Amino acid sequence: MHVDFLPDIILGNIFSYLSLQDLRNSSLVCKRWYSILNDEDNDVWRLHCIHKLAEEVLSSDLLSSTPTYKTKLKAFHHAWNPEDCSRNIYIKPNGFTIHRNPVAQSTDAVRGKIGFSHGRHAWEVIWEGPLGTVAVVGIATKEATLQTHGYIALLGSDDQSWGWNLVDNHLLHNGDSQGNYPMLNNAPKYQVGERIRVILDCDDNTLAFERNYEFLGVAFRGLPEKLLYPSVSAVYGHTEVSMVYLEKFFS
């Protein structure tokens, strides 16, 4: 039987065995294949999620901001990089959450798997353990340091990283405070478990944040035109931080 005569359910089953790159290529073959693969919640993406993602994360509310199987899979491929973090950090089996080991006099950081140099991107960061004296959310290049002695705001301590310290509401870059953030009188402090949305606009070279879906304003301007990675740095032992990539979009 010619492939054109195969029912959609059979095609979907075949597609579930292909790699993500092959699926992207297949979506360009014809309108029918594009239509099948453009359905982000069908069995193709469901089966890929079952193969790639831990059952515990699929049944939890961590991925509640990624409503379809395809967006959940995309979030997994953008999650924390187990090969690009301090030796005092490990990625939990769910694939989205880091755990910092209780190592004294150390500050530790992690980067996401994929960096961005064009387009607009958004991801959520959820700090699920104590903040300690310093807890920084932001972005870093590949050249940024991921571990240092002492308890410092590592993210933002050099010219290769930009961060927002959730403990004292200061913006940090190149080892200096860039002012208070958000620009509000008596701005509330971050509460453990709140969702921070990080918005990186590589076209306008800006970084902004939302907290609990409230836009807090642009935090940094004039970002360099190079690969920029989601990143956090932490000091508190046993603290955990999750990151969920949401979308790439264009204005």
| Pair of tokens at residue 59 | 């049944």
Neighbouring CB atoms inside 10 A of 197's CB total: 20
* All CATH 1.20.1280.50 domain ranges in the chain, comma separated: 3-74
Predicted local confidence at residue 5, as pLDDT: 66
Q: What local confidence, expressed as pLDDT, does residue 248 receive?
A: 65
d(CA 140, CA 249): 20
Please report the pLDDT score of residue 2 as a whole number. Answer: 57
Which CATH architecture does the domain made up of 80-248 adopt? Sandwich (2.60)
Rounded to 5 degrees, φ, ψ at 213 are 70, 15
Give the DSSP letter string of 179-242: EESS-STTPPPP-TTPEEEEEEETTTTEEEEEETTEEEEEEE----SS-BEEEEEE-STT-EEE
Residue type, position 227, single letter:
L
| Omega prior to 7 cis, within 30 of 0 | no
Q: What is the pLDDT of residue 161?
A: 98
Task: Kindly give the parts of the chain with pLDDT less than 50.
Answer: 250-251
| pLDDT of the residue at 120 | 95
Query: Rounded to the nearest 10 degrees, what angle do helices 69-77 and 43-52 cross at?
Result: 40
For residue range 197-209, what is the model confidence (pLDDT) as tens digits?
999 999 999 999 9
Question: 230 to each of 19, 108, 233, how far by Cα in Å?
Answer: 25, 14, 11
What is the per-residue pLDDT for 251? Answer: 42
Helix axes 8-15, 43-52, angle to 10 degrees: 20
pLDDT score, position 237: 94
User: What pTM was estimated for this model as a whole?
Assistant: 0.90
Q: Regarding the domain delimited by 3-74, which CATH topology (the fold level of the hierarchy) does it fall under?
A: Monooxygenase (1.20.1280)
* Beta-ladder partners of 218: 208
Structure confidence at residue 249 (pLDDT): 57
CATH code 2.60.120.920 region(s) in the chain: 80-248
pLDDT at 99: 97
